Amino acid sequence: MRIRESHLEPDRFYHIFNRGINSKLTFLNNENFNFFLRKTKVYILPYFDIYAYCLMPNHFHFILKVKSDIELPEDFKKTGLHSEACFFSKAISKLISSYTQSFNKVYQRSGPVFESPFKRIPINSEEYLRNLIIYIHQNPDNFHQYKFSSYLAMISDSKTNIQREKVIELFDDPINFVECHQNKDLNINFVKDLEL
């Protein structure tokens, strides 16, 4: 099935990821990372629960659960690209577009920053979800200290927009969450389709 025909459905989990066009850098400094996260609050939080994320210099990962109690705007009752079925994909596309416009303005460039369309894989089991959370958090070599992933938010008590309690429940408790992340020999057969 073509990606554009694969609609995001309410009350389902998805792995959303994308990389820079031609594998080029998409985040050049901390301000780029922070700007993307600020835009995530605007375009993603109203429609999705965030279970994990990691922003890397040339790509990003999210685990999102589509909210089921969303009142869609009237202009999304049409057919085609503006149909109800496309609404949640459009929200993610708006995040990417907003970041791209700002990035291009700041760096006096034009054209896409990320590949199009963004990748999306449904998450169909709790085991897959747990393994994917670990995989995403382990992306940076120094993931224990990496500022641009949800790992630090998961192990802290500070306020967060991440679904920390629900994620920790998947691992039973915070201690097991940390211990599971220590395993660098994680069986990653489940991510063979994620090649960035």
Residue 123 within a domain: yes
Q: In 3D, which of 148, 151, 164, 138 has the Cα closest to residue 37?
A: 148
Q: What is the sign, positive or negative, of the torsion defined by CA atoms of 175, 181, 184, 189? A: positive
Please give the single-letter amino acid code of residue 184.
Answer: K
Q: What does the block give as tokens for 58? A: 């040339």
CA atoms within 13 A on the CB side of 4: 6
Residue 116 within a domain: yes
Span 74-81, average pLDDT: 54
Across the chain, mean pLDDT equals 88
Quote the pLDDT of residue 169.
97
Rg of the chain's alpha carbons, rounded to an integer? 17
Range of the domain at 105: 9-194
Residue 4 within a domain: no
156-168 pLDDT, tens digit per residue, is 999 999 999 999 9
Residue pointed to by tokens 């820079």:
20
Quote the pLDDT of residue 77.
53
1 confidence band (pLDDT: 50, 70, 90): very low
Residue 3 within a domain: no
d(CA 184, CA 114): 29
Q: Assess whether pLDDT exceeds 70 at residue 137.
A: yes
Q: What does the block give as tokens for 34? A: 């922070």
Quote the pLDDT of residue 54.
98
5-54 pLDDT, tens digit per residue, is 578 999 999 999 999 999 899 999 999 999 999 999 999 999 999 999 99
Residue 110 within a domain: yes
Span 102-106, average pLDDT: 97
Residue 163 within a domain: yes
Contacting residues for 168 by C-beta, under 8 A, at least 6 apart: 154, 174, 177
Quote the pLDDT of residue 170.
97
DSSP letter at 83 equals B
The DSSP H or E segment spanning 154 is helix 151-154
Q: What does the block give as tokens for 146? A: 């990496």
Q: How many domains does the chain have?
A: 1
* Higher pLDDT, residue 179 or 3: 179
Q: Assess whether pLDDT exceeds 90 at residue 107.
A: yes
75 confidence band (pLDDT: 50, 70, 90): low
Residue 80 within a domain: yes
User: Looking at residue 120, which CATH number applies to its domain?
Assistant: 3.30.70.1290
